[in-house]
Every structure is written in structure tokens, then in C-alpha cells.
Amino acid sequence: MTRALSLVFCLSLILSGCELVFLPGCYTRPELKILPQELPVAISGQPFNVRLEVPPPHTRLMGFYIDPATPLPSGLELTYQRGESHALISGTPRTPGVYKVSISALSNGTQCVGQQADSTYQLKVVAPSQP
């Protein structure tokens, strides 16, 4: 009876996806990070495109998200295609200024809980130079 209970306990622990079983793998995996570390300067009234990427290895990403408290400037948007390891900031910024933008990327969990990478950028939008 005791052996059967031990077997049931071990099987339920393994099948539950408990991190204790996979502890070494969960804590030795690399942290997620978002690249690039800095955004290029944008020019108001001109197209702007930047690719944000989470380099491998990582589990599949759930997405990239902008903190609503620090949004992109008017005219720019963040787009993410499900299943990709990158997102794009694109559009045409409208107003010069320095904008604080916080972006997160989240990965799915498998036997370990998912991970999160956070980056806060200073996006500088300048007026076009006059000839």
C-alpha cells in the first residue's frame, strides 16, 4: 500500500508540471531580454521603423506589451505577430519631444513558469531640420 501511494505521489508530481521536478533547468535558463537596448532618434513627420527582438533561446513568446502609463508618442504603434520573436514599432511620429516608453515581452511557460523581459526606453522625436 505504501509503495502504491508513493508511486501515485511521484506520478502526480511529475505530471503536474511542478517546477521542483525541473528545478535545475528552470533556474539555469537564460533571462529574456529585449534588443536593441536603445531606440534611434525619430523625426516628426517622417516614417519610423524599429524592430524589437528577444534573442533565443526561449520558449514561445506570448507577446510584446506597452505599459499604458508610458505609451508610444502619437503616430507610432507596436505590432506583434503571434509566434514571432520580434515586434515592430512603426508609424510617423507627430510631435517632437522625449518620451519614456516601457515595453515588456512575455514567454509561455512549459515545465517552468513563463518569463518576462522589461525595457524602458527614452524615445527622442526631433523636428525636421530646416534647409
For residue range 15-60, list pLDDT tens digits in order: 555 445 445 567 677 788 999 999 999 999 999 999 999 998 777 8
**Phi, then psi, of 128 in degrees rounded to 5:** -65, 145
Q: pTM for this structure?
A: 0.76
Q: Does 93 have pLDDT greater than 80? A: yes
Are the CB atoms for 96 and 83 separated by under 8 Å?
no
Q: What is the pLDDT of residues 94-123, one digit of tens each?
A: 999 999 999 999 988 777 888 899 999 999
**What's the confidence (pLDDT) of residue 19?**
45
pLDDT of residue 122: 97
- At 59 the pLDDT is 76
Among candidate residues 117, 115, 120, 121, the one with its CA nearest the CA of residue 27: 115
Contact criterion met (CB below 8 Å) for 69 and 57? no
Q: Are 70 and 78 in contact (CB under 8 A)?
A: no
C-alpha cell at 35: 534588443
For 84, residues 6+ apart whose C-beta sits below 8 A from its C-beta are 61
